Structure 1
Amino acid sequence: MSLSFEHVTLGQRVLFGHGQAADHLSAEVERLGAGKVMVIAGEREVEIAEQVAARIDVAVWHSDVVMHVPVEVAETARRKATDNGVDLLVCVGGGSTTGLAKAVALTTGIPIIAVPTTYAGSEATNVWGLTEAARKTTGVDHKVLPATVIYDSALTLSLPVDMSVASGLNGMAHCIDSLWGPKADPINAALAAEGIRALSAGLPKIVADPQSIAGRDEALYGAYLSAVAFASAGSGLHHKICHVLGGTFNLPHAQTHATVLPYVLAFNAPHAPQAEARAAAAFGTGTALEGLQKLREQVDAPQKLSDYGFTAEGIPETVCIVLEKLPANNPREITADNLTALLTAALNGDDPAVLTGDVQYAQ
């Protein structure tokens, strides 16, 4: 069969190295010729950010970081950046911190250097998200793609194991969604498969030894690949669901992605055999769901949405909103009934294999 597809590779500089973040940041600030730097870091990451920024002059520090980037929080950061004549944003932290920097860049065009401390992957995409009136809106704009990403596994050592697992599985969700996203193609599928392999190798090492540099390096590498694949393939069903759960019900980002992932995989996989086979090969198991569930057991992954405050009363509203934002080309038809079944299973932590229909997966 001949190949026919269109692929766009986003331009971005990536600097990777354990213990090298401060050196890399200093060199990048000089290379970009920045005069007024604004460092964005949540209160928990300020100490790490101070270490990373120790060799640069910082004009403005900003620590008001809120999950899902409420519009009013974004507006405050935007005003601070413009009022101080900031010409470079440096964000040090997880997805919420990167998301806030993106919100500033979206309206100001100020370039970003992202220094991730989790495995969220937002730093490698041109996707932004803002929450207003309990609705999360996302979009794509090249202005929000960080010019440079600095990966340093030393900065992730303080991330607790349970958050490392949830964040890594968030990266895994980028990989799996990329296999059947609206613009899925062989290139991002290859990146996604390598991301699955790296994350499934790295996360158990972190659980076994939280100070494992090898495990955290692999997880960061996998998270980057997952995000690059996702940026190309676009947002699939998994992300549509999780954006509603986060924006409307304020569920925690990483844990929500980690919980919902096996249910979307079980829902779609029987209807996307090529994508399923690629994911299974990356896991090194007979089926993709078997591989994911084996990994989830190894790392003691989040199990059910009810653990994070979601209730059955929220399912009808979630279904209604998701049906308004269905991704193009989902491999399986999405209806109110089967989406309700998916969310109910995720709420209660049921065996995701119940969603596969006639196809039986080894457990």
Structure 2
Amino acid sequence: MQGFVYQAQPARVVFGHGTFRQLPEEVARLGLERALVLATPQQAQEAERIAATLGGRSVGTFSEATMHTPVEVTERAMKVVAARGADGVIAVGGGSTTGLGKAIALRSDLPQIVVPTTYAGSEMTPILGETVAGRKTTQVSPKILPEVVIYDVDLTLTLPVGLSGTSGINAIAHAVEGLYAKEANPIVSLMAEEGIRALACALPKIAQDPLDRAARSDALYGAFLCGAVLGAVGMALHHKLCHTLGGSFDLPHAETHTIVLPHALAYNAAAAPQAVARVGRALGAGNAPLALYELAGAVGAPRALRDLGMPESGIAEAAEIALANPYWNPAPLDRGRIEALIRRAWEGSPPA
């Protein structure tokens, strides 16, 4: 066994069925007296209901969370935080809401409670991606990591099949890159392989029966593990490309990850054979990139960037942006290969 460094993230995790009922207890445990509940516009009524259950420990809601965490939305939220004297934030929902909570915490160091309703996994990380003028940048800080994460399987039973599949494969992407990360270690690799296995088994079952409680539980468990991987090690080409594509062309986050992942893994396969073998073992397949592509098909997810609205003219632009700032990747970053990768993802072709 070679030496390694593993930095555990100090987040409190509450997992199970009906655990959302423990929210008031967790609010009190953190000593919050003026919590602000965050949501997207579509979840505004639900946010109001949650705030009401907290009684005097809530100062209301802010329901403008938006995909890719635009800085202008965060600035509006910060004004509400200041005006109401909020002493903490509660994010209930998917990655948009979680991202807003993290952005507020980065600027204010306020404690956060996150109740995820998708499988994105970002709630387990000290990582924030923000968008300014069509460019998405990433920051890492201990302030960004939520203090408490409440996983309630029951809240995922109504998650639409399409979003279940794409957010689940988005979570798998964290684990895939964690297996070949520069900071990879045995602890992270165990979580990564188990997270991929749990999600890959659960997602097709959810596509067939969205009310399959056992499959929903396995998927949320897998998302938790994959998110913990993302929080423990650095990412590489796949995440860089997805941030570039999402921020530059306003593409939906989970769907973009789902489409790009098989191609990014194929790009790195020769440079990270052990990692690819572990992905294949978790998927029960010999060809891991192709198995990921087929998993997307099995859950009815899109497999072409052009179907998300990305123009063909953006392929070269995306490659240029992705290479603008140096970053670590197991395989050398080559402009021609990266452009070919994006083109295959744009076309929806199987991974090379």
TM range (shorter): over 0.9
Residues 35 and 87 in structure 2, CA contact (< 8 A), matched pair in contact too: yes
- C-alpha separation in 2, matches of 1:124 and 1:233: 12
- C-alpha separation in 2, matches of 1:336 and 1:290: 23
Name the counterpart of 1:147.
147
Work out whether 1:137 is the aligned partner of 2:103.
no
Name the counterpart of 1:44.
42
Name the counterpart of 1:347.
346
Name the counterpart of 1:56.
54
Name the counterpart of 1:157.
157
- C-alpha separation in 1, matches of 2:15 and 2:350: 38
Q: Deviations over 1:232-270 (max 9, x none)?
A: 121211100000111111111111011111111111122
Q: 1:326 to 1:201 in 2, by over 3 A?
A: farther
Name the counterpart of 2:82.
82
The letter of the residue matching 1:336 is: R
Residues 48 and 155 in structure 1, CA contact (< 8 A), matched pair in contact too: no
Name the counterpart of 2:29.
31
Residues 262 and 290 in structure 2, CA contact (< 8 A), matched pair in contact too: no
Deviation at 1:13, TM superposition (A): 0.5
Corresponding pairs, count: 350
- C-alpha separation in 1, matches of 2:2 and 2:199: 28
2:181 match: secondary structure? coil
The letter of the residue matching 2:27 is: V
- C-alpha separation in 2, matches of 1:193 and 1:308: 29
2:138 match: secondary structure? strand
- C-alpha separation in 1, matches of 2:310 and 2:33: 46
Deviation at 1:288, TM superposition (A): 1.7
- C-alpha separation in 2, matches of 1:145 and 1:117: 18
The letter of the residue matching 1:79 is: K
The letter of the residue matching 2:36 is: M
- C-alpha separation in 1, matches of 2:64 and 2:294: 38
- C-alpha separation in 1, matches of 2:60 and 2:138: 27
Name the counterpart of 1:252.
252
Q: 1:263 to 1:326 in 2, by over 3 A?
A: farther
Q: Deviations over 1:108-160 (max 9, x none)?
A: 00000000111111100000111111111111011111000001122122221
Q: Deviations over 1:216-238 (max 9, x none)?
A: 11111111111111111212111
1:68 match: secondary structure? coil
Q: Deviations over 1:317-351 (max 9, x none)?
A: 211111123431x2211111000000000000112
Q: 1:294 to 1:251 in 2, by over 3 A?
A: closer
Residues 48 and 61 in structure 2, CA contact (< 8 A), matched pair in contact too: no
Q: 1:12 to 1:284 in 2, by over 3 A?
A: same
Residues 183 and 234 in structure 2, CA contact (< 8 A), matched pair in contact too: yes
The letter of the residue matching 2:164 is: S
- C-alpha separation in 2, matches of 1:181 and 1:67: 26
Residues 119 and 223 in structure 2, CA contact (< 8 A), matched pair in contact too: yes
Moved more, 118-127 or 155-164: 155-164
- C-alpha separation in 1, matches of 2:136 and 2:182: 20
Name the counterpart of 1:322.
322
- C-alpha separation in 1, matches of 2:238 and 2:91: 26
Name the counterpart of 1:10.
9
Give 5+ residue unaligned stretches, structure 2.
Answer: none
Deviation at 1:52, TM superposition (A): 4.7
- C-alpha separation in 1, matches of 2:31 and 2:176: 38
- C-alpha separation in 2, matches of 1:140 and 1:273: 28
Q: 1:175 to 1:337 in 2, by over 3 A?
A: same
- C-alpha separation in 2, matches of 1:180 and 1:187: 13
Name the counterpart of 1:334.
333
The letter of the residue matching 1:33 is: G
- C-alpha separation in 2, matches of 1:155 and 1:42: 16
- C-alpha separation in 1, matches of 2:165 and 2:114: 21
- C-alpha separation in 1, matches of 2:293 and 2:343: 18
- C-alpha separation in 2, matches of 1:140 and 1:192: 20
Where in structure 2 are the equivalents of 1:1-363 lying within 5 Å?
Answer: 2-21=1-20, 23-50=21-48, 52-53=50-51, 55-57=53-55, 58-328=58-328, 330-352=329-351, 354=352
Q: 1:293 to 1:314 in 2, by over 3 A?
A: closer
- C-alpha separation in 1, matches of 2:258 and 2:16: 27
Residues 25 and 52 in structure 1, CA contact (< 8 A), matched pair in contact too: no
- C-alpha separation in 2, matches of 1:273 and 1:260: 19
Moved more, 317-326 or 3-12: 317-326
Residues 293 and 350 in structure 2, CA contact (< 8 A), matched pair in contact too: no
- C-alpha separation in 1, matches of 2:17 and 2:47: 15
Residues 240 and 325 in structure 1, CA contact (< 8 A), matched pair in contact too: no
The letter of the residue matching 1:56 is: L
- C-alpha separation in 2, matches of 1:276 and 1:261: 12
The letter of the residue matching 1:275 is: A
RMSD, aligned CA: 1.4
1:226 match: secondary structure? helix
2:18 match: secondary structure? coil
